Structure 1
Amino acid sequence: MAHRPAIEASGLEKSYGAVKVLGGVDLSVPPGSVFALLGPNGAGKTTTVRILATLTPPDAGRARVAGFDVVAERRRVRRAISLTGQYAAVDETQTGEENLRMMGRLTRLGRAEARARAHELLERFDLTGAARRTVGTYSGGMRRRLDLAAGLVGHPEVIFLDEPTTGLDPRSRQAMWEVVKGLVTDGVTVFLTTQYLEEADQLADRVAVVDGGRVVAEGTPAELKERVAGQRLDLVLGDIAGYQSVARHLGVRLVRSDADRLTLGVATDGSAAQVRALLDEIDPERRAVDRFTVHSATLDDVFMALTGHGAGSGSRNGGGEGGTATGGATGEKTGEKETAGV
């Protein structure tokens, strides 16, 4: 049992009307790791989470979470997981401590045990000083930390974080990253969906890139970046005519393009010899390129190379993941929160 995947899925498919949101997703997530599902809006990320968290049945394929089938053993899956979505689903009229004690009671803890667990989590998430303030007075980052703490009350084996840092400022996002790293130290498996490339790079042991309802690449962040070479040469062109000419010449070798900034990116090994050769190839008369810089490859380069668009762009499946609301997996539009054991 110790060697079984914490999450495994094979051939997951899901359609909403005429829109096929998932077209055969395969995943395997080892226990005690952070797995990031990376993709633009409409790529199928939230729908995948909804299926794995038992909120939506797949049209085809199978999935097991914590060793249990998400359809046949739905109740057992729910006892083993926690799900935190894009917006905090906590009661703003209660205090932070009251929210956690309530969650403890919902997960069948006794009164004393629920109180002790609430105090433990408030301290862990640096919320002790705000424990008796109503959540309506909390900052966005504090609410997200409390929301995550509420999901951990029942000691879940697997926690799903569906775009957990959406809308947070950089400092709050960094604080959430530290919290996620701490979860893995405790042996929890974290399944993270995100549009933030840096977030996946910082947190994930493995990353699956999803586009148009299919996994188009999977590996460690370093492995994925190696697929588009270790370095990127950015070229700033002098005018739009030069930009268009060089873009046509480079064709499929482009890993980045920004017409507004007249900038093109091409993979390189970073050596002076190859950089000189590329410059001589694309600008033999030394008139088109205004300036250039060499950067380490990023996950954004991976995205561009694999999908033809950046991570912030819409997916090719027609968008919207079958018309579900953003973050629909957690029911935040109604305040619903899926909790282990409820």
Structure 2
Amino acid sequence: MSGDMNSQQMDEPALKVSKLVKRYGDMVALDHFDLDVRRGEVFGLLGPNGSGKSTAINCILSLLSFESGTVRIFGREMTPSSYDLKRRIGVVPQNVAVFNELSVRENIDYFCSLYVPRKADRKDLVEQAIDFVGLGDFSSFRPGKLSGGLLRRLNIACGIAHQPDLIFFDEPTVAVDPQSRNAILEGIEHLNAQGATVVYTSHYMEEVEQICTRIMIMDHGRRIALGTAEELKGMVEAGEQVTVETLDLQDSTLAQLRALPLAQSADYDGKELVIHCRQGDHNLQDVLAVLESSGTNYGHLTSRPPSLNDVFLELTGKELRD
């Protein structure tokens, strides 16, 4: 990562996007979009398909032109010719982008060469990247010989070998095995601990909640919510989900449960009762009181707090995987 910075530089956000507008004909892809990523954080950027995420990232990287607005990276305006800024940025795309005719080591060396021209300067960087993603035993393999998880690790190594200060990870764990997913997430946390600022997009809410310090939800090219996972959960009505195993729930009891002040819905399939509640302090006690007073026999009972997926669904009206 880059060397010493004075306090004024440290106060500058790693990334600041102001009132970005991007149109495709009559369609507004980004509608005065704002984004502020602090130095040293892992920032989650979420949105349903078509929300403008990819367009925003491509505009930030100066891969797309835009109608109006500004993009500043480490306090300086980003333009297509800001090559010194671009050297400080790493991108790990959703689609694996490597050369099948090159070995693992050759691929990493090639992508590193786009930022570090002298081969002597790259040698240690390439070896560090290979070690970092755990591909030491596969360094002479061609990509076609790698499993999906190892291929994803190669994709990451190619994006971070030049040791960038700001790294964009776009769906880096799609279709990988759990072991590789854990290795990738741990690697991102390690990069962050070394000083890198990370912008992370994913369809897996549990990953976002695990590694991101703050999360933005966007839709229709605009920011609709921003905060920590807990702050986002506090912005919506969705509360806990209570699930009860029972074989003798009466229709009258189900009607009582649906009439509870904070019950959003109550559904019963003959074996399992699922109640979605709005936020409240004693939803579980209220449910138990109805079951006890009606003499309902029940077995296993669970109460799950609201998830990021609940927040996303309430704010956008869509599942993240839509």
Shorter-normalised TM-score: what interval? 0.7 to 0.9
* Match 1:294 to one of 274, 296, 303: 303
Cα pair 1:39 1:194 within 8 Å, conserved: no
Give the corresponding residue for 1:309. Answer: 318
CA positional deviation for 1:190: 0.6
Q: Deviations over 1:136-155 (max 9, x none)?
A: 11111111111211112222
CA distance in 2, matches of 1:252, 1:61: 43
Give the corresponding residue for 2:286. Answer: 277
TM-score, normalization: structure 1? 0.77
Secondary structure in structure 2 of the residue aligned to 1:2: helix
Deviates more, 1:190-199 or 1:289-298: 289-298
Q: How does 1:47-126 map to 2 (within 5 A)?
A: 47-71=55-79, 74-126=82-134
Q: How does 1:241-280 map to 2 (within 5 A)?
A: 254=264, 263-269=274-280, 271=282, 274-277=283-286
Q: Deviations over 1:246-288 (max 9, x none)?
A: 99979997499999x98552234453xx334367799x9799x
Deviates more, 1:217-226 or 1:69-78: 69-78
| 2:225 is aligned with 1:214 | no
Question: Which consecutive aligned stretches of 4+ in structure 1 deviate over 6 angstroms post-superposition?
Answer: 236-239, 244-253, 255-259, 279-282, 284-287, 289-292
Change (3 A) 1:216 1:292: farther
CA distance in 1, matches of 2:257, 2:202: 30
Q: Percent identity?
A: 30
CA distance in 2, matches of 1:196, 1:250: 32
Which amino acid in 2 is paired with 1:102?
Y
* Match 1:177 to one of 185, 191, 206: 185
Cα pair 1:66 1:158 within 8 Å, conserved: no
Give the corresponding residue for 1:156. Answer: 164
TM-score, normalization: structure 2? 0.82
Q: Deviations over 1:5-42 (max 9, x none)?
A: 00111112222223222222211111111101012211
Give the corresponding residue for 1:324. Answer: none
CA distance in 1, matches of 2:177, 2:320: 19
CA distance in 2, matches of 1:113, 1:256: 63
Q: Deviations over 1:43-86 (max 9, x none)?
A: 11111111111111222221112322223764343222111111
> Relative contact order (C-alpha < 8 Å, sep 6+): which is higher?
1
Change (3 A) 1:151 1:33: same
Cα pair 2:239 2:276 within 8 Å, conserved: no
Q: Number of matched residues? A: 307
* Match 1:37 to one of 37, 45, 48: 45
Unaligned runs of 5+ in 2: 1-8
CA positional deviation for 1:294: 1.2
CA distance in 2, matches of 1:286, 1:43: 48
Secondary structure in structure 2 of the residue aligned to 1:210: strand
Give the corresponding residue for 1:192. Answer: 200
CA distance in 2, matches of 1:296, 1:231: 6
Greater C-alpha Rg: 2
* Match 1:145 to one of 149, 153, 173: 153
Q: Deviations over 1:185-237 (max 9, x none)?
A: 11011111122111110110100011222211101112212334795033579
Deviates more, 1:245-254 or 1:67-76: 245-254
CA distance in 1, matches of 2:96, 2:256: 46
Change (3 A) 1:73 1:101: closer
RMSD: 3.5
Cα pair 1:232 1:270 within 8 Å, conserved: no
Unaligned runs of 5+ in 1: 314-342
Which amino acid in 2 is paired with 1:204?
C
CA distance in 2, matches of 1:256, 1:35: 35
Change (3 A) 1:45 1:209: same
